[in-house]
Structure 1
Amino acid sequence: MSERAGDAATQAGDAEQARRREVLDRIARGLVYSESEAAFQAPQRRTDLVFEYNHTPPSHEAERRALLEAIFGSVGARTVLTPPFHAGFGSNTHLGDDFFGNANLSFVDDVEIRIGDGVMIAPNVTLTTTGHPVHPARRVDFARFSEPITIEDRVWIGSNAVVLPGVRIGYGSVIGAGSVVSRDVPPMVVAVGVPCRVVREITEADRATRAGG
């Protein structure tokens, strides 16, 4: 390679790195970006490993644990994740200790999902960090925006709930089945509905009852 060609290649590489940094900055700020712009993130996707996990026999506990550690950004101790589950990346999701996720849990983790210790998630729940612009002209090339989700320790999320981009669910709270969580939920409350709203606090009296509603 000639010196001139080498310089051109270096400049092209620098330009590509600058473009990637600009896209990552937009993603971090919750601004709109397109599928083509974010294509360089494809190697971070763990979809083949997710497929493998979903087809691994329950009795192969060591193999399933190794797959979880390869799929997720971090995995705590005593993790239970009932297949099938789905993840856009996997590598952007972090699971705490004593996590229980039931069947058909979907992680739309274009950016980080952080789940604390002792969290329980019922079947058919979606955690999505990503949404799309309302105007169709802005959805060309699957244009989208992404904001991280945080689920603090000891949260319980009921069946068929959807947690939307940017939401934080506080310590110990319960999200009722079928809820759509579009805003932050404070610690130690029961919240239900579409949109999800706080209906009451969790108190010492709940130690003697079964119901959460």
Structure 2
Amino acid sequence: MTEKQKMLAGEMYNPSDPELIKERQTVRLLFQEFNSLNENQAEKRNTILYKIFKNADENLYVEPPFHCDYGSNIIAGKNLFMNFNCCILDVAKVTIGDNCMFGPHVQIYTATHPLEFKSRNSGKEYALPITIGNNVWIGGNATICPGVTLGNNVVVGSGAVVTKSFPDDVVIAGNPAKIIKTINNN
């Protein structure tokens, strides 16, 4: 297996692999250009945005600055809005449903490291996919950790640290996040 195949399979891989370095450099050039453009250059920003988000559906809107690892591992549904300073470490697949909103400084991290220091000091890492359902609103400064799945219609409170998965129709908040309310979406 190549290092990229290992990475996408959730196995330990070497992030210093030349193929992976090249992919990260390519997307960094794109988001650096995207982040440098002003609002009068909306068409050009949008073109670059869809080069970063190769697997995005229609009506994608991201306020700069934005950062990610690869971009190609992000699958975005229709009507995704991300506010300022969002970061997605998409070492594994990040699936985002339709009609989602992210507040400023939302952080989505698929990348993780071994707990044992000898393995961690090897420089190798691995990642766990993240899935975000439809109609999810993630408040500012929230962090979504590796391996999390959020159901449909979830609201994540500002500053929450989401370390585990949650079902549909709940409001979650805190560190670590917990259910604070159910939502009646009937």
Instruction: Give the TM-score normalised by structure 1.
Output: 0.80
Match of 2:104 in 1: 123
Q: 1:1-213 residue pairs with structure 2 within 5 A?
A: 19-20=1-2, 23-24=3-4, 26-36=6-16, 38-45=17-24, 46-203=27-184
2:30 aligned counterpart, secondary structure = helix
- Post-superposition shift, 1:26? 3.8
1:142 aligned counterpart, secondary structure = coil
- Give the distance between the partners of 1:58 and 1:196, measured in 2 at CA: 35
- Post-superposition shift, 1:24? 4.7
Identity of matched residues, %? 32
- Give the distance between the partners of 1:135 and 1:169, measured in 2 at CA: 28
Equivalenced residues, count = 184
Q: Deviations over 1:149-179 (max 9, x none)?
A: 1111100001111101111111110011111
2:115 aligned counterpart, secondary structure = coil
Which has a greater percent of strand? Answer: 2
1:89 aligned counterpart, secondary structure = coil
Q: Deviations over 1:39-95 (max 9, x none)?
A: 422343311000000001112111011101111132222221000011111121122
Match of 1:8 in 2: none
- Post-superposition shift, 1:143? 1.9
Say if 1:108 and 1:204 are closer, same or farther in 2 by CA, change over 3 A: closer
Instruction: Give the TM-score normalised by structure 2.
Output: 0.91
- Give the distance between the partners of 2:75 and 2:40, measured in 1 at CA: 24
On the 8 A contact 2:107/2:144 being kept in 1, the answer is yes
Which has a greater percent of helix? Answer: 1
Larger relative CO (CA 8 A, sep 6+): 1 or 2?
2
The structure number with the bigger radius of gyration is 1
Query: Mind listing any 5+ residue stretches in structure 1 that lack a counterpart?
Result: 1-18, 206-213
On the 8 A contact 1:35/1:141 being kept in 2, the answer is no
- Give the distance between the partners of 2:35 and 2:90, measured in 1 at CA: 18
- Give the distance between the partners of 2:8 and 2:49, measured in 1 at CA: 26
